[in-house]
């Protein structure tokens, strides 16, 4: 089974692309969504977060107080690094177990969708990488509309990610997400190539 990663800068539409791959029956692991689930439900991870960021990290109902945690980490890069060093290994192990399960179910290839695929080093455990790319001005407009935020805030978030050009250099496949018609064609072509590669005898 081929293990494929899919990433792209904020506003590139990674989730939209993944949903189109799912129409071909491709299993997708949404790492960022899964991280949120684990932070709310995995007891070992919850304890680590409480130890490092205080009991107030969780509300009375046992769910993560995202606003409280964000207030700590986004003002302090060292705290953000600490948070990532706790959460990313948990997500990595969870994703690895998921891949084993998908292989047992007979998947030809899987997709792991993550915003920080390169930044966390998790790309090293994948066979191929897809990068979703969109011109910067379109990405900014999309995020401003989606999150009801300002251009300055979007650019600040972009600056915390690896530049799109650098991601493209590391990609095995690039999907340009501008027009719906061309997007479907690109995904169909990449899907066919991945199925072909997955079925070839491995050296």
Q: Do the annotations mark residue 122 as ligand-binding?
A: no
Q: Do the annotations mark residue 16 as ligand-binding?
A: yes
Stated as kind and residue range, the H or E segment containing 50 is helix 43-53
Helix (H, G, I), strand (E, B) or coil at 131: strand
The CA-atom distances, in angstroms, between 185 and each of 7, 190, 194 are: 19, 9, 14
Question: Tokens for 97?
Answer: 């177990």
Task: Identify the pLDDT of residue 29.
Answer: 98
Task: Identify the pLDDT of residue 83.
Answer: 96
- The residues, any chain, with a CB within 8 Å of residue 2's CB and separated by 6 or more, are 108, 109, 110, 127, 128, 194, 197, 198
Q: How many CB atoms lie within 10 A of CB 26?
A: 20
- Could you list the mean pLDDT of each consecutive 10-residue stretch along the chain, which spans 203 residues? 95 95 97 96 96 96 94 90 94 96 97 93 94 95 93 89 93 95 96 94 62
Task: Identify the pLDDT of residue 202.
Answer: 62
Q: Do the annotations mark residue 14 as ligand-binding?
A: yes
Q: Do the annotations mark residue 25 as ligand-binding?
A: no
Q: Do the annotations mark residue 12 as ligand-binding?
A: yes
Q: Do the annotations mark residue 77 as ligand-binding?
A: no
The answer to whether 160 and 150 have CB atoms below 8 angstroms apart is no
Task: Identify the pLDDT of residue 74.
Answer: 82
């Amino acid at each position: 089974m081929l293990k494929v990663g899919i990433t792209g800068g904020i506003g590139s539409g990674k989730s939209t692309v993944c949903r189109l791959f799912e129409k071909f029956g491709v299993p997708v692991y949404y790492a960022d969504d899964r991280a949120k689930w684990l932070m709310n439900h995995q007891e070992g991870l919850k304890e680590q977060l409480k130890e490092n960021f205080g009991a107030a990290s969780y509300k009375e109902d046992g769910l993560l107080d995202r606003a409280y945690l964000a207030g700590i980490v986004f003002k302090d890069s060292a705290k953000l690094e600490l948070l990532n060093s706790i959460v990313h290994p948990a997500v990595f192990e969870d994703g690895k177990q998921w891949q084993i399960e998908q292989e047992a179910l007979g998947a030809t290839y899987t997709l792991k969708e993550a915003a920080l695929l390169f930044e966390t080093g998790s790309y090293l455990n994948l066979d191929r990488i897809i990068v979703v790319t969109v011109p910067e001005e379109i990405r900014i407009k999309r995020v401003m509309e989606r999150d009801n935020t300002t251009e300055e805030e979007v650019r600040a978030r972009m600056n915390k990610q690896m530049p799109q050009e650098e991601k493209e250099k590391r990609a095995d496949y690039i999907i340009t997400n501008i027009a719906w018609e061309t997007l479907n064609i690109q995904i169909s072509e990449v899907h066919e190539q991945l199925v072909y590669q997955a079925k070839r005898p491995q050296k």
